[in-house]
Chain A
Amino acid sequence: MIAVAAKKRLGAFDLDAAFEAPPGVTALFGKSGSGKTSLINAVAGLMRPDAGRIEIDGAVLFDSSARIDVPVHRRRVGYVFQDARLFPHMNVAKNLAYGGRHDRDRVIDLLGLDGLLDRRPAALSGGERQRVAIGRALMSDPRILLMDEPLSALDAERKSEILPWLERLRDEAGLPILYVSHAASEVARLATTVVVMEAGGVKRAGAVAEVLSDPAAVGMIGAQEAGAVVRARIAGLDRIDGLTELALAGGRIVLPGRLGGIGTHLRLRISAQDVILSRDKPQGLSALNILSAKVTAIDEGPEGVAVGLLCGADRLLARVTRRSARALRLEPGQQVWAIVKASAVAPDDVSGAT
């Protein structure tokens, strides 16, 4: 359980944010300049709020009214910075051991660091550096892991190399993680809870499936980035056509590629702009993925209309133009058909489930 409340005046910028989050990965999501890093720095003790209270799993790290301000080095926060910040004069083994040797062998194994131990940071790739930084933070036996856009300095290839490590971490380390990001796909893949930040304040906070599928949140997340997260099980494989059939709560969809073995559970992000709506069951369409759904909410924004859908127990999100919304005469409670463009689901949007 994480409870953070912090107020701070930083020049013309006012940080005034509060949220609570259950165990798991909590994503601080928002555009750059929305105060995400300031908030995470307050948790680490690198920025001192004017007022507020910060509590992690029962340990009070900061409380302005009780005059508690635990110094940085006694907070036991594992901070993974955007730029890794490895010590250039130490090799990987010494960097790792700097904060302690907690669970050393397992951390080295978990992050695949065995072959890197003798190397200097200058001889590592960006992805390797981030993995070492994560290992170093974990070995200091932290009570929480703070990650400030740990992937933003990496190219797409390195990102997809490191994302599975982060998923293993989430699933195996059992450590609360506060994860700063401005990429919805990362949030959808990793987070349990999302805290959407805007102009120094918390706009919205809640479970990831709930927030990301809420039409009213599309404006905060960005029309291009918006999309729901659903859980799916691999129900079948078509080896000849190279397709994977996924069972969702409200039907089946087929995606290109081999995504795992039969019975494997996956987390799948379906981008709102890849969902097409129809009043009648479509016939003779190349897309194979047609799901029956009920409209739950409609939100008109400056960039179009976001439509919340209930598809079995899964929440989906679709984005249509204002004109389409009028033509379809969309209203809550209405039955529609949702067509998911199969080829549109990027490999990065599919991941192991929790």
Chain B
Amino acid sequence: MIDWLGPEEWQAVRLSLKVSATAVAASLPLGLLCALALAKGRFPGRQLLNGLVHLPLILPPVVTGYLLLVAFSRQGPLGSVLEPLGISFAFRWTGAALAAAIMAFPLMVRPMRLAFEAVPPALEQAAATLGASRLRVFATVTLPLALPGVVAGAILAFAKAMGEFGATITFVSNIPGETRTVPTAIYAFLQMPGGEGAALRLVAVSVVLAMGALLVSEWLSRRIARRVAA
């Protein structure tokens, strides 16, 4: 595998894995919260939250990337606040992770939300009558029953993050070793004379990863039904 990929290609694969893993790990708590709020919550602004979560799916990725660039550049409203704290996203791999996290967020929330919705409220009520606080009900009944869906959401988000291109290249450019992920590397190799071979190898890696993620997440989704039905 290592011999099969050139050093530059391998670097892009490693960076993509790092960026995607960071993106998923960092957005998971917020993803869970949004999924839970959308599945079980009854509050004003629920439709607005739903819209916001799904926005990156509909918006052209270049628009998302540009908005991130405006917000997180050194002079931007968020960048100027974070810069003195030593947190910077612009043209850094962390920025690639942020872009990937936002673009993957709708895909993460959707299966989680469906899994939370599938947990029968009757079981949560039963747990409450047995003395469990809301937090304990969530930790011992809701989350375990929804776990396959939660994992499925995380895997889908990871796969989406691996493939994120438009927002990433707009926000953090295409710097080898820093922000050159697999998709931006494919783009760069295609611009280069004689780069087709490298591009093709990375394409193969992308297809295998995406296919694998889809299969695993489908299999996990089917498990929810079996777990809850009893």
Contact = CB atoms under 8 A, between A and B. Distances in A.
B198 interface: no
A93 interface: no
B46 interface: no
B230 A137 contact: no
A11 interface: no
Given A85-B123, A88-B228, A79 B145 contact: no
A89 B130 CA distance: 16
Main secondary structure of the interface of B (DSSP, over half): helix
Interface string A45-56: 110000000000
B215 interface: no
Interface residues of A, number: 27
B230 A121 contact: yes
B127 to A, nearest CB: 7
A85 B122 contact: yes
Nearest to A79: B129
Contacts of B229: 88
Interface in A219-249: none
A87 interface: yes
Contacts of B128: 45-46, 72-73
A126 interface: no
Contacts of A296: none
A99 B128 CA distance: 9
With most chain B CB atoms within 10 A of its CB, the pick from A79, A86, A98 is: A98
A100 interface: yes
A72 B122 contact: no
B82 interface: no
Interface string B118-133: 0000110111111111
A72 B140 CA distance: 17
A87 B131 contact: no
Contacts of A6: none
B122 A73 contact: no
A44 B131 CA distance: 11
Nearest to B136: A73
B227 A89 contact: yes
Interface in A70-121: 72-79, 81, 83, 85-89, 98-100, 120-121
A88 B230 contact: yes
Contacts of B130: 73, 78, 98-100, 136-137, 140
Given A88-B228, A89-B227, A98 B122 contact: no
B56 interface: no
B141 interface: yes
A83 B144 CA distance: 21
Contacts of A140: 129-131
Contacts of B122: 81, 83, 85
B183 to A, nearest CB: 39
Interface of A: 44-46, 72-79, 81, 83, 85-89, 98-100, 120-122, 136-137, 140
Interface of B: 122-123, 125-134, 140-141, 144-145, 227-230
5 contacts: A45-B128, A72-B129, A75-B129, A136-B130, A140-B129
Given A46-B128, A89-B227, A122-B230, 8 more contacts: A46-B129, A72-B125, A87-B123, A87-B127, A98-B127, A98-B132, A99-B130, A121-B230
